[in-house]
Amino acid sequence: MVDINPFPFLFSALGKFIYARMGWTYDPLPVYWEPRCVVIGFPHTTNMDTVRALTYIKLARINAKLLIKSKWFFFPMSLFLKSLGGLPVQRDKSCGFVDSVIKKFEENKNLVVALVPEGTRKSVPTIKTGFWYIAKGADVPIICWYLDNQRQRTRWLGKIHPGESLEQDLDEIHAIYQRAGFSIPTKFRNI
């Protein structure tokens, strides 16, 4: 997929302007940032979370692909979303999605894949674990991002490298968000 960003400075400045207009602030990229990683974000409560994420991708000038439900990729919206780094996801059926994202990591030296493990804007008791399988299969870290609605700030919270146990890694991720004052669902469902 070609990233349509011929003027990175312009898009970055525009992103900063949009954040300021929304009344939101943001953390700069953390010292533990890596140009190849899976970024997970919590919570996902509104479509504005997606706007904030896509805007941050441009203002921080990172080569990121934000996974978005495929139903949003209709013409002309698809052109807009793809130009901002959106990547369509079919979550309603098993389609080898994890393997296809791992292959994208194999094809790209610098790639960030961002997603929301809740998979929906509704309150859910479980999270999807595809992000862990992608990070594990691609041998890249998972970096935790938090949309702090109370402070109106997007924050970087920490990083883990997937180990041998999904359950242990999810416990560690849960602890990272808990320290920030947010509780992610403790139950999970595969992919």
- Which of 9-13, 60-64, 125-129 comes out lowest in average pLDDT? 9-13
The pTM score is 0.83
**How do residues 26-52 score in pLDDT, each as one tens digit?**
999 999 999 999 999 988 677 778 778
> Mean pLDDT, to the nearest integer, of 106-135?
81
For residue 30, what are the CA distances in angstroms to 9, 15, 21, 159?
20, 18, 24, 10
C-alpha to C-alpha distance for 182 and 6, rounded to whole angstroms: 37
> CA-based Rg of the chain, rounded to a whole angstrom?
16
**Closest alpha carbon to 113 in 92, 91, 133, 93:** 133
Contact yes or no for 120/183 (Cβ under 8 A):
no
- At 4 the pLDDT is 46
**Burial classification of residue 166, based on how many CB atoms lie within 10 Å of its CB (0-12 exposed, 13-18 middle, 19 or more buried):** middle
Q: pLDDT digits over 2-29, tens only? A: 344 556 677 778 888 888 898 999 999 9
* Beta-bridge partners for 113: 38, 65
**Residues 112-121 pLDDT 10s:** 998 888 655 5
